[in-house]
Amino acid sequence: MRILSGVQPSGELHLGNYFGAIEQHLRLQHEGEALYFIADYHALTTLQDAARLRELTRDVAATYLALGLDPELATFFRQSDVPEVHELTWLLECVTGMGLLERAHSYKDKVAKGIRPTVGLFTYPALMASDILIYRSSLVPVGQDQVQHVEIAQDMAQSFNAAFRCEALVRPEHRLSAVPKVPGTDGQKMSKSYGNAIPLFAQGKALKKAVNAIVTDSRDPKQGPLDPDTCNAFALYALFADAGERADLARAYREDRGFLGYGVTKKLLTEKIEARFGPARDRYAALKAPGSELDDVLRQGGLRARALAQETLEACREATGLGRRLT
């Protein structure tokens, strides 16, 4: 089983990234041949600041390695170190109907949020399909909002193979995260672009401020039971807590008239965040320092990924009649 997923370096990674993707990526590196890339080409649709992009790319890489990604088990690389994805993108676009891209939810959603409707934003799903197909990935772990992109990749693979009467491309399948939606501090899906995120490595006053920003109602537990099922703070705490801890806190919400309210939950959540991510913070800082193994890990991962990509691209060039690339 070949596993493929990517993460955009478009901002500081947060709890939504961890529970929605990173946690699953770290687990899957033990279950198959995993390839994980930092989607810096994709980031260019919304980020046009060279220094910022370089910094965020290193942030993502350091975060994954600090949290436990093993470069001996998983191929970890920058998307831009594999330029072959763009050639395959063109080949796919030549057999793809406009309607398929026009139906893409991500384009409509981003334009509705005020992002300029560039050609790159519109053809984003084609590049994502190429990212998936060029490594002949069989499994793509994604969040619910990315399922359509895997379905587009399936359609493009089928169209290419049918058009050129070949089996050069493998049909991928998606796998959803166990946590389909991580609520942000405002109750919407946690997202950098919404300004409602809690950074993974926040600490001290910054962490306390982020957690205290979680929106809750103004109900007093002395006046009646609270509802853990509608509480944003409880939903985030539940991601960290075991079954017994969740049950105890839920019982306090519903039955304990001496319960001190949502501040208790936020304090417990802060402690959980510190316990889960505190040990990785020092490792993250060391990886960000000059001379760490970070750049070598990305370089070696890029070389391995590019070799796989070139195999697939040669098969596609042969199928289309383009012939082998000059070396």
Positions marked active-site: 110, 189, 192
CA 290 to chain centre: 26
Q: 160, 123, 161, 125: which is closest to 142 by C-alpha?
A: 125
CA distance 168 to 315: 6
Alpha-carbon distance of 177 to 22, in angstroms, equals 10
Compute the distance between CA of residue 248 and CA of residue 229 in angstroms, rounded to an integer. Answer: 14
Helix axis angle, 262-288 to 232-240, nearest 10°: 50
Angle between helix axes 124-133 and 105-112 (nearest 10 degrees) is: 140
Which token pair is 311?
Answer: 């195999």
CB within 8 A of 260, min separation 6: which ones?
221
Q: Where are the beta strands (DSSP E) in 31-152?
A: 33-38, 74-78, 139-142
Both tokens assigned to 78: 């920058």
Locate all alpha helices (DSSP H) within 134-261, ordered by sequence: 147-163, 204-212, 232-240, 243-255
